[in-house]
Amino acid sequence: MKAERPRITKDPMYQMLRVDDTKGFNARKAQGGTCDLRGVDLRGLDLRGLDADGLDLSGSYLRDADLRGVDLSQVHLAGCSFYGAKISGTLFPAELTAEEIRLSVELGTRVRYRP
């Protein structure tokens, strides 16, 4: 996967995440709303409480994001970078090793997980 600059889009659901409105994002998602989150900039965002089930975050930047307690077990994470992210209580896909998560959080490596 080629490393590219993280995208910032005008998608209304993505913009909800950019302003820490995870409740609004979750409500829109529950009503069937969708948005393209591949390769987006999620750096430094508070994503606690996010309903991430089924999202595709491939190639996204989650540097310094607050992911505490978020269930990422059903999320596409190939190429994501978690450098400096808060991951206490985060549930990752079983196939993603603890070592790969640690390397991403500590060194910024991109995870190589494919569902």
Q: What is the pLDDT of residues 71-90, one digit of tens each?
A: 999 999 999 999 999 999 99
Using the structure block, give the residue that is written with the tokens 């302003």.
Answer: 19
Q: How many residues does the chain have?
A: 115
Classify the phi-psi angles of 23: left when phi > 0, otherwise alpha if psi is within -120 to 50, otherwise beta: alpha
Short-list 24, 17, 23, 19, CA closest to 40: 17
pLDDT band at 112 (very low <50, low <70, confident <90, very high): confident
Cβ atoms of 38 and 60 within 8 Å: the answer is yes
pLDDT digits (tens, 9 = 90+) for 42-64: 999 999 999 999 999 999 999 99
Which pTM does this prediction carry? 0.91
Q: What are phi and psi of 103, to 5 degrees?
A: -60, -35
